[in-house]
Every structure is written in structure tokens, then in C-alpha cells.
Amino acid sequence: MATNILVADQDTHFFGDVCKNFDYAAQFTKHDAGLLDQIKSCNSVYRFRFPIRKGNSFEVIDAWRVEHSHHQSPTKGGIRYSEMVNEDEVMALAALMTYKCAIVNVPFGGAKGGIKINPKNYTVGELENITRRYTVELIKKNFIGPSIDVPAPDYGSGEREMSWIADTYATMNPGQLDAMGAVTGKPIALHGIAGRREATGRGVAIAVRECVSVGEDMQKLGLLPGLAGKRVIVQGLGNVGYYSAKFLAEFGAVIVGLCEFEGAIYNEDGLDVEAVFQHRKASGSILGYAGAQQEFTNTMEGLEQPCDILVPAALENQITEYNIRNIQAKIIAEGANGPTSPEAEAIFYANGGIIIPDMYANAGGVTVSYFEWLKNLSHVAFGRMNRRFEENSNLNLVNMVEGITGVALTPIQRSTIIKGASELELVNSGLEDTMIRSYHELREIYKNNEKIDTLRSAAMVGAINKIAVSYQNLGIWP
């Protein structure tokens, strides 16, 4: 029986685990040791403290911003609001962002931020003060800007916090034309982009779909190719977990288990993700949901139930050497950052499983953040310039075909063919293309080198090679 709880273990060395994965993959490359050290190291680590008023008293807040790699500019990464945030974690997440961007060919360096608070313990006004003060501290040290470092939402933060950051940056930089490009994950009304909120979860679902589409790989696992009927357990019903489950179900998978802080539920015939989400919203817990066949007060037990695919989409260090042997899934798709320890991964692969690594699987968020950044720099929504032109061109084509064939299409058929792509459709198309191309790119590395024994190592090898080329082309100056 599992004994772990759904928290990040402060005694683990998350950055050390990332470096272990890097060092292991680096042996399959041919780069200079000094260059590899430059790629692996965090370039800038800014740790700071600032006071806020809480009622009639003062409170000191600990915060960080880490810029891992400047091989591309700007650097990019979310801001985590959590009592469990520490410097090691922020460094690890910044490093993962560097490799993640390289894997999906997004031209950013990796960065990450953290504010050591539990947002539930503060009023909206206090959270706004904390967020704005954090932003000002970054501005003072030149750690934020559309061409410098671009934050985004992460665990504990969202569109509201990104709005405060955008407004603070714009206020402190009057007249800067590209000020809204200093942060992504903003609401649509404040120059955000359609599809950003669900992007990470959609990316996870596409990653899983691509993995199970390869018949050769599925045969080794004893599974049929395709997502149809595949049993899935998702850990976490936040933004990433909810949309991962939602889109996996839309793609044909059966969501048999859901796990959250308060416990886990399971139904071998499938769970209605939206109904569970609404039940939790109303009651505060997924426990007590009428459609569950089994409930577990220990949430980690939910991970160990029968399934084909497990999607840990909560926090790091959830699957370790202590519970990996109880996991019945044959595929682990990492929706969270660092949910599987290196020791657990080695055991899982030795037992014939496949892990779709976080560096690739959850890259949907930064991919669409890249699209949002491009939108902010160009100051025009995707599709606005060409949508009507496309519709008129399609209409002319339909009219010509109808005239030649003498067959008239129905109004529904005509509208479907003629309609130009919206911003959301273009964003989803770009995301899908990115995830598909990137999966098969890293799988080729995995298959073409018999010494590379995991998809994570293959992804890391691909990332190292791309980053190395950037540094070599940049040179060293002065």
C-alpha cells in the first residue's frame, strides 16, 4: 500500500535529478565538457525578500527568479505560488524549461520564478500587492521584459496574476510599445491568446495520442495502437490535469481514475470528467462522487489501480522507487514537471514500460505562450488579416466546383468548407503540429541509438545538441 502523500518532498534534490538526467544523456553527445557545463548550469539565480502589510503587521516574503540559459532570448518560464517553493526547485524547473523549449523548437531560454506563499492565506488585495511588488523587484534587476525574461502562470498562479504583472510592467515602462509581451498567460481581454488556458493539457493529450499511435511500440507493451478504449488515470484536477483528462476522453480514451489532494476515485467503466470537476467545485472534494465505484482517502492509492496510461499532472516526485512497483500502467505521461524520480524511471523501463517525459509532454503551455508573445509583438490577432480573404477564396472555389459538376452543396457543407480559420483554430493547429513533429523527432533519436534507453534521454540528447549549436554559433564575447 502506498504511503507517500501528494507533496513535493523537500529532502529530494530536484535540480540534482535534472542534472543526473543531463549527465546521463550527455554521454551520447560529442560536445566539449566545458560547453556541456555551460548548458547545464543556471546562468542567473536571483533570490530576494520583500515586506508586505498583512492587516496591521508586516510579513516578509521569500521569492526567486532563475534564468537558466541565455542561448536564446528572451528566457521564459512560469511563476509558482506555493509554500513548498525553494531555490532548488526553481532552478530545476528553469533548467527543464530550457530543455523543453529546445525539444519543441521554441526560441526561448529557460527560466522560472517562485513566491513562497500559500495563496489561500491571503486576500485578493494582498495577493495583488505581493504580485506587483514581486514584479517591481524583477524590474529593478532587469529580470523581466519582452526581450529579456517573460514569465507565465504556473502552480498557484493564473490569468489574474499575469494581468497584475502586465499592468505593473507597463506602468513602470511608460511608452514601451511591446510592454504586453513581458508576460504570457494573460486573459484575452488583456492581449492574451485563445487556447492558452487549455494548452498544456491539450499538449499532454496529443503527446499520449502520438505515443500510442505507433504500432511497433504498442506491440511491445501488449497494447493495440490508438487511444480508443485505453484506460487512463489522471493525478491532479487542476488546469493541466482537467484538460488532459478532457481531451484524452475526446480522443477516445476512458478516464477510469482521478486523484487529488483529498483522495482518489476509480470506476473501471469510466468517469465523467466534467461531472467530477463540478462535484468537486460544489463540495470541495472529489470524494463522494456518485459515479465512483471505489474511493481512496490516501490519494496515492489511486495511482496504483488498473489502467493502461497514468498521467501524473500535479507536483514533482510523486512516483518514486517506493511506489513504482505498485503502478499497473504501461505508459506514464508526465503532465507535471518531474513527477517521476530517476530511480523509479529505471525500474519502470526495466519492467517494460514507457515514460513520455515532462520535457516534451507538458510543452504545450510554452508553445502557446510563444504564440501569445508573437501576437503581442505583432499587435494583431492571428487570422485577423487573412480570414476573410480565405473565406472568399474558398467560396470562389466552391462556386466553380458546383458550376462544373452541377452538384449543389448543402448550406452546412458550404459553410464548413468556406469558413476561414479562427485564432483558436490556428493556435490549436500550431500546437498539434509542434507536438506531433517533436514526438517523432525524439522517438527517432531513441530508436536510432541502441545505447539510449529512455525517451527522456532521447529528448535530452536532442535538446543538448540544439542548445550546443546555439552556443557555438554565438561564440564568447568579450
Give 209-261 as a DSSP string. HHHHT-HHHHHHHT--SSSTT-EEEEE--SHHHHHHHHHHHHTT-EEEEEEET
Give the three-state DSSP class for 50: strand
- HSE toward the beta carbon, residue 53, CA cutoff 13 A: 3
Distances (CA, A) of 350 to 305, 317, 324, 421, 442: 20, 19, 11, 46, 20
What is the CB neighbour count within 10 angstroms for residue 89?
Answer: 27
* C-alpha to C-alpha distance for 311 and 314, rounded to whole angstroms: 9
Q: 32 near 334, Cβ under 8 Å? A: no
Q: Which of 321, 334, 345, 432 is catalytic?
A: 321
CB-CB contact of 273 with 249 (8 Å): yes
- DSSP letters of 329-346? -SEEE--SSS-B-HHHHH
Cis peptide before 51 (omega within 30 of 0): no
Q: Please tell me whether residue 290 adopts helix, strand or coil conformation.
A: coil
Joined together, the cell numbers standing for residue 352 give: 517494460
User: According to DSSP H, which parts of 284-357 are helical?
Assistant: 299-302, 342-350
Residues 6+ apart with CB under 8 A from 378: none
What separation in angstroms does the CA of 48 have from each of 77, 93, 121, 291, 407?
18, 18, 21, 47, 70
* Share of the chain residues as helix, strand and coil, in percent rounded to the nearest 5: 50, 15, 35
Q: How far apart are CA 252 and CA 226, in angstroms?
A: 9
CA–CA gap between residue 289 and residue 299 (Å, rounded):
15
What is residue 145's DSSP assignment?
B
Grid cell of 33 as nine digits: 565538457
* Residue 250 known to be catalytic: no
Hey, which residues are catalytic here? 321
